[in-house]
Amino acid sequence: MIPSPTPAPRRASAGFMLAHPARWIALGFGSGLSPWAPGTVATLWAWLAFLLLDLWLDALDWALLLLAGLAVGWWACTRTARDLGRADPASIVWDEVLAFWVVLWLLMPAGLLAQVVAFALFRAFDSAKWGPVRWADRAFKGLPGQPPGWPQGFGILLDDLVAALCTLLVIALAHWLWPLLGGWA
């Protein structure tokens, strides 16, 4: 079977987003439409949304929301990438939202400084693509000219989840080392 050719790449816009519910999710409810640093804008949106939702959600509610967000996000990112004609467009930012929610869910309750550090670490791992994040980013890219499918949709989410894991590992290591280095004394 010959795969269908990838449609010409499209640019995300408000009109594009409003045309299908998957696009609302994948484009981070509009945060992915930012003309500058859409991943950073989406992570900031995720931080604010987390703080608001956390007023009503407990740990189990968050776990269920994150699992549902992973499943629905996989579908939304796959569908939107296919509609945009690119395997991992910068405007698809649900991966940043979901991954940073995981970081905050496991970090909280934490003070503002710890949240800022988590934000900075997550953005550094996500944008620089160090080590395992680079591997995860490349693992599901697909072949040039191949239309984005389920593996590419999963890949969109995977590298940010690995960036979240790396962020949490660095925070845990720092938390463990801090008392050994003299702590707050």
Decide if 1 is inside a domain: no
Decide if 143 is inside a domain: yes
Q: Which domain holds residue 49?
A: 14-180
Decide if 82 is inside a domain: yes
CB 117 within 8 A of CB 171: yes
pLDDT, residue 5, reads 54
Decide if 174 is inside a domain: yes
Decide if 2 is inside a domain: no
| Distance between CA atoms of residues 42 and 103, nearest Å | 14
Decide if 9 is inside a domain: no
For residues 171 and 1, which has the higher predicted lDDT (pLDDT)? Answer: 171
Decide if 3 is inside a domain: no
Least confidently predicted of 24-38, 63-77, 140-154: 140-154
Domains in the chain: how many in total?
A: 1
What is the tens place of the pLDDT at every residue in 117-164? 999 999 999 999 999 999 988 888 877 777 888 989 999 999 999 999
Least confidently predicted of 10-24, 25-39, 54-68: 10-24
**Which two tokens mark 169?**
């590992």
Query: Is the bond preceding residue 148 a cis peptide, omega within 30 degrees?
Result: no
pLDDT, residue 149, reads 86
Q: What's the one-letter identity of residue 173?
A: L
* Confidence tier at 6 by pLDDT (50, 70, 90): low
CB 1 within 8 A of CB 21: no
Burial bucket for residue 45 (CB in 10 Å: 0-12, 13-18, 19+)? buried
pLDDT, residue 184, reads 47
DSSP letters spanning 59-70: HHHHHHHHHHHH
- Give the residue among 71, 93, 75 at the shortest CA–CA distance from 20: 75
Burial bucket for residue 57 (CB in 10 Å: 0-12, 13-18, 19+)? middle
pLDDT, residue 76, reads 97
Decide if 130 is inside a domain: yes
Query: pTM of this prediction?
Result: 0.89
DSSP letters spanning 39-91: HHHHHHHHHHHHHHHTTT--HHHHHHHHHHHHHHHHHHHHHHHHHHTSSS-TT
